[in-house]
Amino acid sequence: MIRRILAACLVFLTLALSAQAQDRTIQDVLQEHAEAIVKSSRTTIGPAIEAVANSGQPSAQTVLQKWQNKDMWQWSENGFFYAATVDGSEITLTDFDTGDIVATVAKGDVTQLKPNSGIRAMIGAALVQFQLNDPDAERRREALLAIQRDGEASHLAPLRASIETEDNPDIKALKEVTERLLTISFDKDDARRIAAIEGFAASLSLDARAALNPVLSAKLVYAEDLPETANIKREIKPGSEALSVSDAFALMVSAGAATAQPTLSERKSALTEHIIDGKVGGVPVAELTRQDARDHAYQALASEGLVPAFDPAFSMEAAVKGVRFAEVYDEPSAAVTDAAQKTLHTINRAVGVNQFLDLSLDGLSLASIYFLAAIGLAITFGVMGVINMAHGEFIMMGAYTGYVVQQIIPDYTISILVAIPMAFAVTFAAGVAMERLIIRWLYNRPLETLLATFGVSIALQQIAKNIFGTQARPLTSPGWLDGALVFNDVLAISYIRIAIFVLALIFLGIFLFIMKKTRLGLETRAVTQNPRMAASMGINPDRVNMLTFGLGSGIAGVAGVAIGLYAKVTSEMGTDYIVQSFMTVVVGGVGNIWGTLLGALGIGFLQKGIEWFNPSNTLAAQTYMIIFIIIFIQFRPKGIIALKGRAAGD
């Protein structure tokens, strides 16, 4: 035991000596802060990162980078930190200072350091000084992003110095923008700040707003004894939207300009404390079931001076009347706040326009999803008049087909290209089978088709559950559909939504082509208008009905693949779309594809519009949308585009 302690002392001594001898290694620095590093909390890690960054050791940058990437491990044998590469259950430890491989150990002997993203950001900020002039352009870009995320005043000087020597034009531009952002936040010189602020006029960058808004941060204050120098944003009347009377009074109380009245519950507990022999202030406790009796008892106590005074006639309105309240900027310089205010005004106008465009894109995208989900129904219900409650389950079948194809073909691009025709084929077959077996017997009983297809719908849902289980299944879009088309920081739309939009357009085209330009379309229109007449013209109504129904179902299957890509694949996904799809068709007007398109657009935009009015409750938006649809149908029962004449049927 003693020998061990001695040995430890010796080690410590050598460590201390070597530190004195100015040949400290980075390991020494790490060991000094070992406790904080292992604890790995953002609140205590600061000194450790700083020590490493400022150690002047050549390997400091490597340490920080390895640490940030969770590649630094601690060896339990000596407590030292090493860079590590994992190979199965074996871990190779490399010394930071020498770059030598120290040992290859089992996983149980070492602990990985897992800095959380807060610490990783701090490490990133510390790395800036190394990376700003790094030969690797990607590193320089990372450093600039780190500054934009977690800028510090100390970054300003090195950043400015590095702009001159930057030769990559992209990164140079980024550096200049970053420099202006830092200037706004940290520079001491007002003129420079104002120049930087004005440079962002009409900019849509989120970072610009993030830098400008803090400049304009303001507080509500009691303004009667405000110093002359205060940078006042505006005076505020109590009782306005910005400042309620009770808030204003609270400000007065906290400024010491008024005393608060005891609240209802304070008065009650005061009463409780002064119960003497079943009486409070002379009033028997049993009588205190009314507020006026309680007030009376309290007044009695107050007049004895036992409790703080309470004035029943007191009103906060009177107390705050004529008192000045103001919003005061935290930023002392009025010139800076004025400039920021002006710039932000131009920015907000541009942002407003772009937000509107973004909302429109969202609406368009939602409309295209509804349209895609409803287009199959526009054929089966709109053209043929068949109420297919299993339409949603055809969507689900399409999505599961996509999932199965993806299990067989691992390449996402090819699998999607295969899945679309496969989904069409599967649901086409299912649709034809359903038409032959069930629906054709019920053409004269439309309401009963509803029941029969509902039966099919719940059976299909349960079968899907039995085959695929109840968990959601992944349907992953190919890499080129990842991400979003970004116009600016406000206006963006994901590629998958664009793809759905394009798909919806394609199917609109296909539908129009088939209905207007092909024999099947002609025959379908003939059969739906008058089956007997069509039959006497040599058209086989059975065949036409079968193919039309199959077509509608097939399109639903393809829609299923698209919907599965952007949302989820579960056995119940169909139920999410069935009611919406029916409403899309009905609102648009049955029997007309343009009506369905208008219906989808109307519903999509309407829903987004309501969401915009009430952003915190999406459920309410959906409720009001449906109520709106109900009212709309009352006034236009045949939908937006109503068929006229013979085609309208009854």
Partner 1 sequence: MDFVKKHPSLPAFIATLLIFTLAVTFLSEAYGTGTMSTSFVKTLGKTLCLALVAISMDLVWGYTGILSLGHFAFFGLGGYMIGMWLMFARTKLIVVESMAAADIPATAMEIKDAVGTQIFGVVGSSDFPLVWMFAHSFWAQIALVVLVPGLLALVFGWLAFRSRVTGVYLSILTQAMTLALSLYLFQNDSGLRGNNGLSGLQNLPGLDAVSQDAVSIWFFWASAFALLVTYLIANFVVSGKFGSVIRGIRDDEARVRFLGYSVEGFKLFVFVLTAIIAGIGGALYYPQAGIINPAEIAPIASIYLAVWVAIGGRGRIYGAVIGAGVVSLVSTYFTGGQAPNINLGFYTIKWVDWWQVLLGLSFVLVTLFAPKGIGGLFDLISGRLSPSRKGAPLGPDQGSLREQEAEK
Partner 2 sequence: MEVKTKLKATLATALFASTAMASAAFAECPVKVGVLHSLSGTMAISETTLKDTMLMLIDEQNAKGGVLGCQIEAVVVDPASDWPLFAEKARELLTVHNVDVMFGNWTSVSRKSVLPVIEELNGLLFYPVQYEGEESSKNVFYTGAAPNQQAIPATDYFLDELGVEKFALLGTDYVYPRTTNNILESYLKSKGIAAEDIFVNYTPFGHSDWSKIVSDVVALGADGKKVGVISTINGDANIGFYKELAAAGISADDIPVVAFSVGEEELSGLDTSNLVGHLAAWNYFQSAESELNDEFIAAWKAKMGEERVTNDPMEAHYIGFNMWVSAVEAAGTTDVDAVRTAMYGQEFPNLTGGTAVMNVNHHLSKPVLIGEIQADGQFDIISQTAEVPGDAWTDFLPESAVLMSDWKDLGCGMYNTETKTCVQIKSNY
DSSP of 74-89: EETTT--EEEEEEETT
In the complex, what is the shortest distance from the CB of residue 462 to partner 1, in angstroms, rounded to a whole number? 4
The separation between the first and the last C-alpha atoms of the chain, rounded to the nearest angstrom, is 102
Segment contacting partner 2 (CB under 8 A): 83-91, 280-288, 300-308, 566-574?
566-574
Contacts of 246 (CB under 8 A, 6+ apart): 316
Closer residue to partner 1 (CB): 191 or 459: 459
Q: Which of 580, 584, 562 is CA-nearest to residue 505?
A: 562
Distance CA 172, CA 179 (A): 10
3-state secondary structure of 495: helix
**Contact status: 494 vs partner 2 (CB under 8 A):** yes
Q: Give yes or no for residue 179 binding partner 2 (CB under 8 A).
A: no
Decide if 384 contacts 525 (C-beta within 8 A).
no
Q: Which does 291 bind (CB under 5 to 8 A by kind): partner 2, partner 1, none?
A: partner 1
Chain positions contacting partner 1, by CB under 8 A: 268, 271-272, 275, 280, 285-286, 288-291, 294, 385, 387, 389, 438, 441-442, 444-448, 450-452, 454-463, 465-466, 575, 579, 582-583, 586, 617, 619-620, 622-623, 626-627, 629-631, 633-635, 637
612 binds partner 2 (CB under 8 A): yes
Among 483, 509, 540, 647, binds partner 2 (CB under 8 A): 483
DSSP string spanning 315-382?
-HHHHHTT--EEEEESS--HHHHHHHHHHHHHHHHHHHHHHHHHHHHHHHHHHHHHHHHHHHHIIIII
Residue 369 interacts, among partner 1, partner 2, none and using kind-specific CB cut-offs from 5 to 8 Å, with: partner 2
> Beta partners for 101?
94
Of residues 360, 572, 638, 642, which one binds partner 2 by CB under 8 A? 572
Smallest separation, CB 74 to partner 2 (Å): 15
State the minimum distance, in angstroms, from the CB of residue 88 to partner 1.
Answer: 40
Measuring CA to CA, which residue among 541, 516, 498, 501 is closest to residue 593?
516
Question: Which of residues 619, 631, 637, 646 is near partner 2 by CB under 8 A?
Answer: 619
Backbone angles phi, psi at 634, to 5 degrees: -60, -35
Ramachandran angles phi, psi of 276, nearest 5°: -125, 120
Q: Which is nearer to partner 1, 407 or 614 (CB)?
A: 614
Site for partner 2 in 74-133 (CB under 8 A): 114, 116-121
303 binds, among partner 2, partner 1, none (CB under 5 to 8 A by kind): none
Please report, for residues 209, 295, 318, the alpha-carbon distance to residue 261 in angstroms, rounded to integers and kept in the order given: 42, 13, 14
Q: Nearest approach, Cβ of 268 to partner 1 (angstroms)?
A: 7
Find the binder of partner 2 among 88, 135, 410, 615 (CB under 8 A). Answer: 615
Q: Of residues 231, 260, 576, 642, which one binds partner 2 by CB under 8 A?
A: 576
Cβ density class 284-298: b for 16+ within 10 Å, e for less: eeeebeeeeebebbb
Question: Quick one: what does residue 341 bind among partner 1, partner 2, none, with the CB cut-off 5 to 8 Å set by partner type?
Answer: none
Strand 101-106 and strand 279-280: the pairing is: unpaired
Instruction: Kindly state the smallest distance separating residue 585's Cβ from partner 1, in Å.
Output: 9
Q: 206 is in the binding site of which of partner 2, partner 1, none (Cβ under 5 to 8 A by kind)?
A: partner 2
Q: In the block, which residue shows the tokens 């090819």? A: 414
Residue 253 to residue 640: CA distance in whole angstroms: 60
Alpha-carbon Rg for the chain, nearest whole angstrom, is 36
Give dist(CA 378, CA 584) in Å, integer: 9
Separation CA 375–CA 577 (nearest Å): 12
Binds partner 2 (CB under 8 A): choice among 617, 630, 636, 648: 617
448 binds, among partner 2, partner 1, none (CB under 5 to 8 A by kind): partner 1
Find which of partner 2, partner 1, none residue 137 binds, CB within 5 to 8 Å per kind. Answer: none
Q: Quick one: which of 34, 357, 492, 510 contacts partner 2 (CB under 8 A)?
A: 492
Query: Rounded to an integer, what is the distance from CA 35 to the centroid of its chain?
Result: 37
Q: Report the partner that residue 232 touches, choosing among partner 1, partner 2, none (CB closer than 5 to 8 A by kind).
A: none
Cα torsion at 112, 113, 116, 121 (round to 10°)? -130
> And the tokens for 419?
């899945």
Three-point CA angle 179, 180, 186, nearest 5°: 85
Token pair in block for residue 285? 């406790």
- Nearer Cβ to partner 1, position 26 or 546? 546
Q: Of these partners, partner 1, partner 2, none, which one is at the site of residue 125 (CB under 5 to 8 Å by kind)?
A: none
**String of contacts with partner 2 for each residue 496-535, x by CB under 8 A:** xx--------------------------------------
36-44, 523-531, 542-550, 641-649 -> range binding partner 2 (CB under 8 A): 36-44
Q: Does 180 bind partner 2 (CB under 8 A)?
A: no
- Give the sheet arrangement for strand 325-329, strand by strand: 218-222, 325-329, 232-236
Q: CB 607 → partner 2: shortest distance, Å?
A: 8
C-beta separation of 307 from 298 below 8 A: yes
Choosing among partner 2, partner 1, none, which partner's interface includes residue 504 (Cβ < 5 to 8 Å by kind)?
A: none
Interacting residue ranges for partner 2, rule: CB under 8 A? 40-43, 114, 116-121, 149, 206, 209-214, 217, 355, 358-359, 362, 365-366, 369, 462, 465, 469-474, 476, 482-484, 486, 489-490, 492-497, 563, 566-570, 572, 576, 608, 611-612, 615-619, 622
